[in-house]
């Protein structure tokens, strides 16, 4: 890996990306607190890539990074503020990237203040298993930025597919209406989640059923993505979100997950 990679965030995508990157070179993860830094070290260390990993809590740790990936909460204002701060703190040749799954990359590039050196990298969870990265290149970005982003994806063992900057890009734009249709079918027919999921796994060859996948994504995240896509979010999903049943991370969603999440 030729780039000196920095990753901001300690969630599933950030830690998964760090674990993959640490097997291929040096990577610095920026955490917002000592507690989240400790969790990140444990999570990435469990993946076997900790020897090349540094987890820090001070922004100065990213001063030498040549490619910085923002992987924080899916909120435009939070991302824009962080990216603007990173722009002021890093060298002019460093590329900034966002892992947004549904926000406008063009808008975030403008907020960052360096659209010429900016890309969107939609990384999929679980990062180690998922081969695709959706690459979004703002209009102002130069060819060198595009080439470096593709080279980084290749170095990480991923396939980069350049996609348009439309809500949900390609995968989520097609996927979430299908996931919501599964919830609506369950609502109208009274089918149990496992029945719907088993039909799609065994009948359509999907590795995971739609309701189990929603639990993995997080029902709150799914609701937010659906709203950005302008899709109809089923009432059952909204009710579970309101009740705190957010999926695996909360130990309950469409299924129960004893001993996992919060």
Rounded Cα–Cα distance for residues 70 and 186 (Å):
36
Length of the chain equals 262
Catalytically annotated residue among 36, 50, 101, 104: 101
Residue 59 is a catalytic residue? no
Q: DSSP class of residue 168?
A: T
Interatomic CA distance for residues 135 and 71, integer angstroms: 15
Asked whether the beta carbons of 68 and 96 are under 8 A apart, the reply is yes
**Alpha-carbon gap, residue 165 to 147, rounded angstroms:** 18
SS3 132: strand
What is the distance between the alpha carbons of residues 111 and 72, in angstroms, rounded to a whole number?
15
- Residue 172 is among the residues annotated as catalytic for this protein: yes
Q: Please report, for the chain, how many H helices and E strands are present, in that order.
A: 10, 8
51: which DSSP letter? G
Q: What share of the chain is helix, strand, coil (3-state, %, to 5)?
A: 50, 15, 35
Cβ 200 vs Cβ 206: under 8 Å:
yes
Q: At what angle do helices 105-112 and 76-89 cross, to 10 degrees?
A: 40
Question: Active-site residue among 3, 23, 50, 122?
Answer: 122
134: annotated active-site residue = yes
The whole-angstrom distance between residue 122's C-alpha and the CA centroid of its chain comes to 6
135 φ, ψ (degrees, to nearest 5):
-105, 125
Q: Which residue of the set 134, 192, 239, 251 is catalytic?
A: 134
User: How far is it, in rounded angstroms, from Cα 120 to Cα 154?
Assistant: 15
Q: Which are the catalytic amino acids?
A: 101, 122, 134, 172
């Amino acid at each position: 890996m030729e780039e000196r990679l920095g990753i901001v965030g300690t969630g599933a995508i950030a830690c998964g990306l760090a674990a993959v990157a640490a097997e291929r070179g040096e990577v610095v993860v920026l955490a917002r607190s000592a507690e989240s830094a400790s969790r990140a070290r444990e999570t990435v260390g469990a993946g076997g890539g900790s020897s090349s990993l540094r987890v820090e809590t001070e922004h100065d740790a990213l001063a030498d990074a040549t490619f910085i990936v923002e992987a924080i909460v899916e909120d435009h204002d939070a991302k824009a503020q962080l990216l603007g701060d990173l722009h002021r703190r890093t060298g002019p040749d460093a590329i900034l990237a966002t892992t947004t799954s549904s926000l406008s990359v063009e808008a975030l590039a403008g907020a960052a203040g360096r659209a010429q050196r900016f890309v969107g990298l939609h990384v999929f969870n679980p990062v180690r298993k998922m081969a695709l990265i959706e690459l979004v290149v703002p209009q102002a970005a130069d060819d060198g930025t595009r080439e470096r982003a593709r080279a980084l994806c290749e170095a990480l063992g991923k396939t980069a597919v350049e996609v348009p900057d439309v809500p949900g890009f390609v995968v989520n734009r097609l996927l979430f209406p299908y996931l919501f249709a599964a919830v609506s079918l369950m609502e109208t027919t009274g089918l149990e989640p496992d029945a719907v999921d088993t039909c799609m796994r065994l009948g359509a060859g999907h590795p995971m059923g739609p309701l189990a996948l929603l639990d993995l994504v997080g029902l709150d995240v799914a609701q937010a993505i659906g709203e950005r896509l302008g899709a109809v979010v089923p009432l059952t999903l909204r009710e579970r979100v309101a009740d705190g049943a957010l999926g695996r991370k909360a130990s309950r969603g469409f299924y129960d997950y004893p001993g996992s999440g919060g």
